[in-house]
């Protein structure tokens, strides 16, 4: 996710805001931006539509292009890009640049912006402390983490440690429904984890019914996600990770194993 270069963190938290309030909501600053630019107010429909990739690696595209692939009327002429301040110089056209520590109010809920690099350099996440929810984009998935497209294992580890420091009852909304395939990898390196076994069975049942597995909880991820448990002896033995290897090195090895895993 390219500084929300896929805009997945922003769009997913707006789309999933139905969990936090009875109706989708666009913050006042977004409304004002649309009015100032003279755009027709269609942002709510845009963000409630199925998300399409807006940007590839190192590229960006106006949100107006999204309309043409998601059956939103092109007459809306929406062009709103929300991104990380870290990426402002390399991603042209960012309308709202967010940085670590920024706080704002969305649907009556305070939102904290967290820098969570690793998948990309400019990745950010959104934490709702009052609602005990975090939108992690492509940094933390259920039972996995994002590929290291731009960042290092050290950066990803620091980002995951920051996220995992949140309360156990925090709901985790990630950017993709990858949990089923992630569960197969997790079981392959830790088959005796009973909590993981139970969760994997639940995940398979949900997907068989074509139901989502997201949100997950921080408590579940701490118990089952191999990328949050890089010091676990069973995982290290399964992948031949030396006892002396630090957590960042272990995370890098786990990530490479996941990249090469065939379910």
Distance CA(251)–CA(236), nearest Å, equals 10
| Structure tokens that stand for 261 in this block | 């895993």
| Structure tokens that stand for 76 in this block | 């809306």
Distance CA(11)–CA(149), nearest Å, equals 21
**Is there a cis peptide before residue 196, judged by omega within 30 degrees of 0?**
no
Run of H or E including 182: helix 179-189
3-class SS of residue 11: helix
Instruction: Render pLDDT for 166-221 as a digit per residue (tens, 0 to 9).
Output: 999 999 999 999 999 999 999 999 999 999 999 999 999 999 999 999 999 999 99
Mean of the per-residue pLDDT values of the chain: 79
Run of H or E including 234: helix 233-239
Instruction: Render pLDDT for 75-121 as a digit per residue (tens, 0 to 9).
Output: 555 567 888 999 988 888 888 899 999 998 888 999 999 999 999 99
Work out the end-to-end distance of the chain between its first and last CA atoms, rounded to an integer number of angstroms.
24
The DSSP bridge pattern shows strands 144-145 and 140-141 to be antiparallel
Q: Are 1 and 9 in contact (CB under 8 A)?
A: yes
pTM > 0.85: yes or no: no
User: What confidence score (pLDDT) does residue 91 get?
Assistant: 84
Q: Are 217 and 183 in contact (CB under 8 A)?
A: no
């Amino acid at each position: 996710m390219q500084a929300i270069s896929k805009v997945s963190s922003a769009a997913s938290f707006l789309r999933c805001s139905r969990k936090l309030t009875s109706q989708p909501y666009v913050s006042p600053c977004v409304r004002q931006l649309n009015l100032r630019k003279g755009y027709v107010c269609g942002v709510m429909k845009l963000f409630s539509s199925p998300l399409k990739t807006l940007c590839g690696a190192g590229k960006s595209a106006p949100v107006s292009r999204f309309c043409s692939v998601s059956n939103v009327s092109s007459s809306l002429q929406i062009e709103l890009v929300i991104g990380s301040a870290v990426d402002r110089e390399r991603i042209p056209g960012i309308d709202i640049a967010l940085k670590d520590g920024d706080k704002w109010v969305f649907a009556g809920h305070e939102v904290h912006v967290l820098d969570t690099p690793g998948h990309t350099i400019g990745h950010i996440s959104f934490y709702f402390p009052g609602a005990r929810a975090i939108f992690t984009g492509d940094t933390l998935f259920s039972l996995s983490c994002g590929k290291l497209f731009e960042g290092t294992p050290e950066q990803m580890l620091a980002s995951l440690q920051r996220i995992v420091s949140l309360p156990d009852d925090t709901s985790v909304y990630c950017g993709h429904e990858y949990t089923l395939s992630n569960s197969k990898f997790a079981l392959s390196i830790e088959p005796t984890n009973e909590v993981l076994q139970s969760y994997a069975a639940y995940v398979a049942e949900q997907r068989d019914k074509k139901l989502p597995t997201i949100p997950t909880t921080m408590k579940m991820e701490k118990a089952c996600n191999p990328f949050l448990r890089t010091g676990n002896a069973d995982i290290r033995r399964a992948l031949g990770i030396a006892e002396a290897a630090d957590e960042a090195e272990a995370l890098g090895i786990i990530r490479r194993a996941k990249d090469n895993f065939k379910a």
